[in-house]
Amino acid sequence: MSTAGLAAAAAGVVRPSPGAPGESPTGSDRLGLHRAEVERTYGLTRFFYDAWFRVDAEGHEHLPLDGPALLVANHGGMLPADAVMLWHDVLRHTGMARVPRIVADLFVPRLPFLWTWGSRCGAVDGSDATLDYLLRQGELVVVFPEGAPGIGKPRRERHQLRPFRVGHAEHAIRHGVPLVPVGLIGPDEQWPELTRLHWFHAFGAPYLPVPILPLPLPVHYHVRYGPPIETRGRFRPEDAFRPKVVAALAQELHDAVQGLVDEGVRARRGPFL
Amino acid sequence: MRVLLVGGGEALGRILARRLLACPPVEHVLAVEPLGGCAHAPHPRLGRLSVPLARPRSVRDLIFDTARDAGIDTVVNAVMHGGPLVPGGPATGPEHAAFTRLLLTSVEGLEGARRFVHLSAAAVYRVGPDQPSIVTTAHPLDFSAGASGRTRALVEADLAVCARMGLSRVDMIVLRLAPLGLPRALEERARAWSLRALGHDPMSERLSLTGAADAVCLALQEGGLGVRHAAGSDVRPRSHASARDLPVPGPLLPLLLRLQGWRRSFPAEPEDPQRAVWSAVLEPTRPDFAGPERRTPEDPAHAPARGAGSRAWERRATTNETHAPPRGRASAQARPPCASAMRRTSESPSPSEPALAPARRSPR
């Protein structure tokens, strides 16, 4: 945990996420987040964060310690290990007081066991109503606007972001919440893919990726938080119903995230260093 | 306010009548049961009546004779949560929806009627993996061909009221209730029979009968028209709500729940099979619509089994000065049933909470 995160937690300036046990006697919030499970999973992922992927993060001063916000990150790596590492990083640098609510694709809630675990750790389904609810509750929401195309892009197109979907920009304008671009460097090289089984659609999955290795490669992860893009004052809530405005904001975010990724790729010495 | 309380079954009707009598604006309550035998405690301001509601003539006589003579200005239709309308009939069937339409038409013709409250249920909403976990009033209703007869009846009755909303001189409120729980003693017994869903572990939501009754009181005091949600305050993973964690795969759970026919003897709604697999939690229209019986960790009967990690979270939360104080059941019980409503109506809503929606002309 960073010194800033520890100090913030000790000073009590970090507000616990809604649904903390003081408010929710059962320890679960209305969407299934369970604090004890968050702590257990945090401990389980520590090895991958510290030893396997050796996550190197910077720009935590842009991470909002209070109030609703949207973290917008790029996606890659066949399976969403980048989401787990980002989840761990936010927890670590906010003194575990802000549990990032990762928005999953609509087919993910169909996955048994995995979704139960994910929802207890704060993952939510990617629907408008759920996102509206979370932002009204002042939660820190993480979205990957590239979606499944981003996670499945071929190796030759690594570090090139897919077009962003626009739902996150619409919600940010409607609720007046800041958008924090996050560049993840490393996921695109983490897990070489052998082939894809396109006939496999169990649980609503678009396809089944077949990896070369049973475990991801120990690439060096870099997480870079960019300065937040404010929407309050810049947009009016009714602008959320203007597609061109929303698309322009989504493109601005796309460029910001792409810029962070490009900077990170230039700054690193290699995928494993 | 003189209230005609129609249906409600034995448990909900009894509690609802008691709560309504405790609300200051309510002068008189006339409770009507289709089959008789409703065990309402005697009260000087409570009238009891047994009317065969399955007969249209009886309904018209009830509205245009008895209710008119009694000066009824508010009608609460709880028949969708009651028992059968005819001896041996289903707990909720098509005849309930037909009765609701007839009652609605009659009330619109009743001179002096100002408000009609229809108690609907969360089962009207479509639930599935492609639907949001948080159910707002914009959530799609369940029109699927595979919906049960009970669900179809609920949707039909619900829409019948919604269709007249804003077009009638009578203010109409549709109150969609979260799945109703049982009285506490029975709930403990029923919980022992609930089965753990492995694989999918949806959030289980329960609204106590008292919470439902209080939500009706609040809706009456609030006035206006529109669709309201009365959500359950007790929301937890289904596996946590089970006292005996039997390893039953999630997809088998609806079948097993249907086999629990014995539960029909309880005055509660049957389990919605879809909700047993997929999460769908109502978003309360206002915070106090989530019921006053918010369970506190100090309550030994409902203290959940939590690990050391959870206790650490609690310590962290309680030592944080900026943390909002819990709205406990104890504080709610210290006030009369409708005191919280009276207090809240004079306050402006908190910025962090959605403001109470104004009266809408169209619910959807």
Q: Which residues contact B220 (CB under 8 A, 6 or more apart)?
A: B1, B3, B20, B23, B25, B26, B74, B76, B115, B117
Can you give the CATH number for the domain in which B139 is found?
3.40.50.720
Over the stretch B191-230, which tens digit does the pLDDT of each residue have?
434 434 446 777 877 788 888 888 899 888 888 888 999 8
Tell me, what's the pLDDT at A252? Answer: 95
State the ipTM, two decimals: 0.75
Percent of chain A with pLDDT over 90: 54
Over the stretch B320-336, which tens digit does the pLDDT of each residue have?
333 333 333 333 333 33
CB contact under 8 A, B237 and A28: yes
Å from B354 to nearest chain A CA? Answer: 8
CB contact under 8 A, B134 and A21: no
Residue A112 pLDDT grade (very low, low, confident, very high; cuts 50, 70, 90):
confident
CB contact under 8 A, B136 and A130: no
Class of A36-266 in CATH: alpha beta
Instruction: Outline where A155-209 has alpha helix (H).
Output: 167-175
Q: Comparing A107-121, B116-130, B252-266, which segment has the lowest mean pLDDT?
A: B252-266
| Closest B-chain CA to A133 | B134
In a domain, B267, yes or no: yes
In a domain, B318, yes or no: no
Q: Which of A13, A35, A121, A232 to mutate to test the interface with B (most CBs of B within 10 A)?
A: A35
Q: Comparing A12-26, B58-72, B213-227, which segment has the lowest mean pLDDT?
A: A12-26
Mean local confidence (pLDDT), A83-102: 93
In a domain, B36, yes or no: yes
B203 at the A interface (CB within 8 A)?
yes
Question: b vs e for A95-119, b when ≥16 Cβ sit within 10 Å of the residue's Cβ?
Answer: bbbbbbbbbbbbbbbbbbeebbebb
Question: Residue B10 is part of which domain span?
Answer: 2-292+337-345
Report whether pLDDT(B184) > 70. no
A255 at the B interface (CB within 8 A)?
no
Most confidently modeled range among A69-73, A96-100, A108-112, B185-189: A69-73
Percent of chain A with pLDDT over 70: 90
Tell me, what's the pLDDT at B255? Answer: 58
In a domain, B166, yes or no: yes
Mean local confidence (pLDDT), B57-65: 91
Report whether pLDDT(B295) > 90. no
Closest CA to A105 of A95, A113, A115: A115
Closest CA to A5 of A120, A92, A86, A105: A92
In a domain, B231, yes or no: yes
CB contact under 8 A, A129 and B279: no
CB contact under 8 A, A25 and B297: yes
Mean local confidence (pLDDT), A207-218: 88
Q: Comparing A227-241, B173-187, B213-227, B311-325, which segment has the lowest mean pLDDT?
A: B311-325
Over the stretch A168-202, which tens digit does the pLDDT of each residue have?
999 999 999 999 999 999 988 888 888 888 888 88
Mean local confidence (pLDDT), B87-106: 85
What is the distance between the alpha carbons of residues A272 and A205, in angstroms, rounded to a whole number?
A: 31
Closest CA to B359 of B227, B229, B230, B231: B227
Q: What is the mean pLDDT of chain A?
A: 86
Tell me, what's the pLDDT at A153? Answer: 83
Residue B262 pLDDT grade (very low, low, confident, very high; cuts 50, 70, 90):
very low
Å from A29 to nearest chain B CA? Answer: 7
User: What predicted TM-score, i.e. pTM, was given to this entire model?
Assistant: 0.74
| Residue at token pair 């975010």 | A253
Question: b vs e for A4-26, b when ≥16 Cβ sit within 10 Å of the residue's Cβ?
Answer: ebeebbeeeebbbbbbbbbbbbb
Q: Which residues contact A149 (CB under 8 A, 6 or more apart)?
A: A162
What is the distance between the alpha carbons of residues A237 and B356, in angstroms, rounded to a whole number?
A: 19
Over the stretch A115-156, which tens digit does the pLDDT of each residue have?
888 988 999 988 888 999 999 999 999 999 998 888 888 888
Residue B267 pLDDT grade (very low, low, confident, very high; cuts 50, 70, 90):
very low
Question: Angle at CA A83, nearest 5°, toward B322 and B201?
Answer: 75
Other CB atoms within 10 A of residue A240 CB: 20
Tell me, what's the pLDDT at B223? Answer: 80
Nearest to A32 among B138, B237, B312 (CB): B237
Q: Comparing A13-17, A43-47, B58-62, B88-92, which segment has the lowest mean pLDDT?
A: A13-17
Tell me, what's the pLDDT at B259? Answer: 57
Tell me, what's the pLDDT at B185? Answer: 39
Q: Which residues contact B339 (CB under 8 A, 6 or more apart)?
A: none
What is the distance between the alpha carbons of residues A74 and A59, in angstroms, rounded to a whole number?
A: 16
Contact B59, B103 (CB under 8 A): yes
In a domain, B354, yes or no: no
Strand A222-225 and strand B46-50: the pairing is: unpaired
What is the distance between the alpha carbons of residues A73 and A182, in angstroms, rounded to a whole number?
A: 5
Report whether pLDDT(B264) > 50. no
Closest CA to B126 of B99, B98, B154: B154
Over the stretch A237-259, which tens digit does the pLDDT of each residue have?
999 999 999 999 999 999 999 99
Q: Comparing A205-214, B25-34, B328-337, which segment has the lowest mean pLDDT?
A: B328-337
Q: Higher pLDDT residue, A164 or A269?
A: A164
- Beta strands, E only, B8-159: 28-33, 46-50, 74-78, 115-121, 134-135
In a domain, B362, yes or no: no
Tell me, what's the pLDDT at B266? Answer: 37
Chain A residues 104-133 with CB within 8 Å of chain B: 106-107, 109-110, 112-113, 115-116, 119-120, 124-125, 127-130, 132-133
**For chain B, how many structural domains are there in total?**
1
Most confidently modeled range among B153-157, B272-276, B342-346: B153-157
Chain B residues 13-52 with CB within 8 Å of chain A: none
In a domain, B323, yes or no: no
